[in-house]
Amino acid sequence: MNKFRDYIALNFEAIITSIVVNRREDSSASSGDSGGSSNNNINATTDVILHFGSMYRSCFRHANLYGQLVVTTRRVERFVFPFIDRALLPNFDESSDAMESLKLVMTAGATCNDNDSTTTIDTTSQQKMAELAASFLTRDYDAVWDQRFNPKLLSSEANYMTKRIALQILSTVLLTRSNYNIMIRYVNSRTNLILVMKLLRDNSPHITLDAFHVFKVFVANPNKIPEVEKILKDNSQKLCTYLETLHYDKEASDQQFADEKRLIIATIRGL
């Protein structure tokens, strides 16, 4: 695996460009080129796309390669952002695979447990990757969260699977200690709070549960900006009534969830 890592590091741009570009090409792109075949013009089948996804994740479980991936905004734009768009593809397998790759990058591997991987991330490497993730998520905050993640992956147009994984990614990012500055910025946003409150009302109980784990970070923040606190105050009665019934059946089997819900309700009432 060290030889694999070193080979990728020496040829990073060429190899990762091929992996990212070849994961998906529209049929129009290949049919419109009457010239010879090119590595950048493959009309990939789903099986090929999934294989490239596995290769991508195998690369970035290595801390050194992960560092090369997120070292500049240019590389994030070229090698990370395409997966946000691919998460919205109609093909379930392809969009799911894109979300798994995005999860690996944005959570620094903290939540990844792929069956296609034989590479585990040791504690030291994971900590190093978490610091690198915090750096790029802070540096490219607007481009990541405001321009892409929220409006695409958490929008009403996103499918069930995309929204679920996106909420899980968001929750992990906000609750990771090295991402403290990102968490403070994200939860001190009126727009973000309204978005998460809408997801609390989703038709899917799984999405409402994932949304709750993000919503509780907004409520628990001791230094709320006035706009956020006003929304919570103005909607306190409706929020508390709704939260009291939210996943009521889960409270008996999950004491931590029950305690968290009671604390969130009490905090909102105390505003």
Q: Where are the domains of the chain?
A: 1-187, 188-271
Structure confidence by residue, pLDDT tens digits, 203-256:
999 999 999 999 999 999 999 999 999 999 999 999 999 999 999 889 889 999
Cβ burial 226-246 (10 Å sphere, 16+ → b, else e): eebeebbeeebeebeeebeeb
At 129, list the tokens. Answer: 């990757």
What amino acid occupies position 268? I
Range name among 86-90, 103-107, 151-155, 223-227 with the lowest pLDDT average: 86-90
Structure confidence by residue, pLDDT tens digits, 158-189:
999 999 999 999 999 999 999 999 999 999 99
At 72, give phi and psi (nearest 5°).
-135, 160
User: How is residue 120 annotated by DSSP?
Assistant: -
| Cβ–Cβ under 8 Å, residues 18 and 39 | yes
